[in-house]
Structure 1
Amino acid sequence: MKKILFTGGGSSGHVSVNLALIPRFLESGWSVEYMGSETGIEKQLVTPIQHVTYYAIKTGKLRRYFDLQNLKDPFKVVNGAYQAYRLIRKSKPDVLFSKGGFVSVPVVFAAWLNKVPVIIHESDITPGLANRLCMPFADRICTTFQETAGHLKSGKARYVGAVIREEIKRGNARRGRDFCGFRTNKPVMLVMGGSLGSRAINQAVRESLTELAQTFNIVHLCGKGQLDPSLQIREYRQYEYINQELADVLAMSDVVVSRAGANSIFEFLAIRKPMLLIPLTRNQSRGDQLLNAQSFHQSGFSKVLYEEQLSAETLTAGVKELFNERRLFIDRMNDYPERDALADVFGFIKGIAKS
């Protein structure tokens, strides 16, 4: 029996491609294992999947700012690499597929030491810090954007396009309305600030609720620990995070307000959801979401509202304008040439796996 080891975590974006691929390998009779952190969202998302073995290792966090934890984290990474090395040496996977995030660094290094072929996936136009650290130890790097190859010097890049979870396309709008308990036929506005949430977006949404609720039913995914129980509005539903019901909630949504993580926005594109993107600023990130949002805006798939201009007024205006022009965005998205990236990556991994 062939065996594949997955890694990646820290946010749902560093897990979603793995979640799309895992069922394919299980259906093909492969043994599937996953290596992630002890408390990260990857553990929450992966452990419920039957027939997948989850290994938890120590890991640090790759910060771009000063923090006293930066002094401790290198020791955690070394400890995690030692744990990963021993687990991989015992498990003997045929291939490692890494989606990125800080937990992937010790796993990729340990796989390289064990002479296990390593494939990295990069969703954004420019590689993230974790993937840049891992690239010297990788055999190949799969990319979502064609432009990404220009940012890689190794010649290892392979453009595959966006890997979309198949279940995202199987959502049911009626199930979504039943889940949320909406009793009116108002159009639905979905707000997603990323799996970790966004205080700036949450604040702007809540300050504009009274006006937005006159037009929309609103579903707000606000992030862990960011619920506001004081808000009791008939047209408003808030959740920290939605997993299994997300496809149904997306199916019933008419417009989406979101950060500009590549995995999420390509899923919105695949199911033709007009989007208002609010990318992370350069102060909050390396600027990858700004590039993602710019690419989608230039392609006519989204509107963009920069966080520096975000307020209750600009959010309300942007959402209403997007809704009024939604047919134009859907028509442009219908012209987008689809490719089966999931099948491409699945076949590519099988070809790279050591015999």
Structure 2
Amino acid sequence: MRIVISGGGTGGHIYPAIAFIKNVMAKDPTTEVLYIGTENGLESNIVPRNHIPFETIEITGFKRKLSFDNVKTIIRFLKGVSRSKKILKKFNPDIVIGTGGYVCGPVVYAAHQLKIPSIIHEQNSIPGLTNKFLSKYVTKIAISFEEAKEYFPKEKVVMTGNPRATEVLGNDGIKGKQSVGLSLTKKTVLIFGGSRGARPINEAVLSILDDFANRDYQILYITGEVHFEAVKKEVERAGNPNNVVIVPFLHNMPEVLAGVDLIVSRAGATSIAEFTSLGIPSILIPSPYVTNNHQEKNARSLERNEAAIVILEKDLVGGKLLHAIDEILFDQNKLQTMHLNAKKIGIQNASDRLYQLCLDAIKNKK
């Protein structure tokens, strides 16, 4: 099989694509893959680092307001379609997959014009502009949240889940805990706000360090590189509680996740896919700065299924966060119920489902 994948802008579009590629290559090493992104996007570093062949096109996103820049974007889109056609004709893929971000717009649309089967993968509960546009032209639409169905043609939609969930399965939680100096016997709370951290979460956590010191659970606190030094000083002022471990970033997140009992985090689609596949209960603090407020919609989906507690950023204070953590960890029945509910939501074979969708789309074309 020959596959072209396109997606970029954020890790939420790129990492599911890479997870899928790794899964496909493990199944069939003869598969040939080409990734199309932008030269300046995050994907231009991440994809080649994973030894995946990479081509670029030039494209920018649409402004949501009326703007002359949108005229330039349309011109770039048409040029991007032309460039994508040349790349696709040369590579001759059996299928083209778009995982989101404006870069996949010209690529997937070019596939439609060349009559190549195509799939878009939507990670969030509310789709972005690009996937809404492409939904008219693709063969199938893979979704990760049931709530996304209403935005797409029903006959094209298939629930696959997020391929990133596959990567966190089968890891050694004991090894993960040991790697960051955590106790193997205490319940563990992982707190993080994304790769760059989140100031409101950091402030709430710092305000309750003294309270954490008196709890019999332990905290693994990922500050983000930007905030690490400032947070480290505050932790030192609090006497370096021996049940609080702080790190700027984790390179072995799947391993560590396998040993965690509770997560406090933003509500990005990729993160949710990872910890629901493991059945980890969560306290979600959605970022209010994302398009269409999609993180809150993601979080509310888990809350409705009693797999998460949601605290909006505007309501976030240390005392409220501490109460929510205590409420879950001090009630074994609640912890177990949330674990089972999260597990029900999590789709552990997402990559396999997406792979089967590809095979079906190719077969039906033939």
Q: Smaller-chain TM-score range? A: 0.7 to 0.9
Partner Cα separation in structure 1 for residue 285 and residue 248 of structure 2: 19
Aligned residues: 350
1:261-303 CA-partner distances (Å, limit 9, x unpaired): 233223212212110011233x643132222222211111111
1:26-49 CA-partner distances (Å, limit 9, x unpaired): 231210111123243334433232
Report what 1:350 is aligned to.
359
Q: Tell me: CA distance 1:175–1:65, structure 2 relative to 1, closer, same or farther (3 Å).
A: farther
Q: Counterpart of 1:168 in structure 2: which amino acid? A: V
- Asked if the contact 1:98–1:119 (Cα under 8 Å) also holds between the matched residues in 2, the reply is yes
Matches within 5 A, 1:1-355: 2-27=1-26, 28=28, 29-50=30-51, 52-64=52-64, 77-153=77-153, 155-182=155-182, 186-195=186-195, 197-215=197-215, 216-223=217-224, 225-229=226-230, 231-232=232-233, 233=235, 234=240, 235-240=244-249, 242-243=250-251, 245-281=252-288, 284-325=290-331, 326-333=335-342, 340-353=349-362
What's the Cα RMSD here?
3.1
| Superposed displacement of residue 164, structure 1 | 4.7
Query: What residue ranges of structure 1 are gaps of 5+ in the alignment?
Result: none
Partner Cα separation in structure 1 for residue 143 and residue 214 of structure 2: 42
Percent identity between matched residues is: 27
Q: Tell me: CA distance 1:5–1:294, structure 2 relative to 1, closer, same or farther (3 Å).
A: same
More helix per residue: 1 or 2?
A: 2
Q: Counterpart of 2:341 in structure 1: which amino acid? A: R
Partner Cα separation in structure 2 for residue 335 and residue 238 of structure 1: 31
Q: Counterpart of 1:340 in structure 2: which amino acid? A: N
SS in 1 for 2:258: helix
1:210-255 CA-partner distances (Å, limit 9, x unpaired): 4335435433444564433551545232324x44x11111112221
- Asked if the contact 2:99–2:120 (Cα under 8 Å) also holds between the matched residues in 1, the reply is yes
Q: Counterpart of 1:269 in structure 2: which amino acid? A: T
Which deviates the most, 257-266 or 335-344?
A: 335-344
Q: Counterpart of 2:266 in structure 1: which amino acid? A: R
SS in 1 for 2:49: coil
- Asked if the contact 1:19–1:165 (Cα under 8 Å) also holds between the matched residues in 2, the reply is no
- Asked if the contact 2:19–2:163 (Cα under 8 Å) also holds between the matched residues in 1, the reply is yes
Q: Tell me: CA distance 1:38–1:303, structure 2 relative to 1, closer, same or farther (3 Å).
A: same
Which deviates the most, 222-231 or 69-78?
A: 69-78
Instruction: State the TM-score, normalized to the length of structure 2.
Output: 0.82
- Asked if the contact 2:277–2:348 (Cα under 8 Å) also holds between the matched residues in 1, the reply is no
Query: What residue ranges of structure 2 are gaps of 5+ in the alignment?
Result: none
Greater Cα radius of gyration, structure 1 or 2 = 2
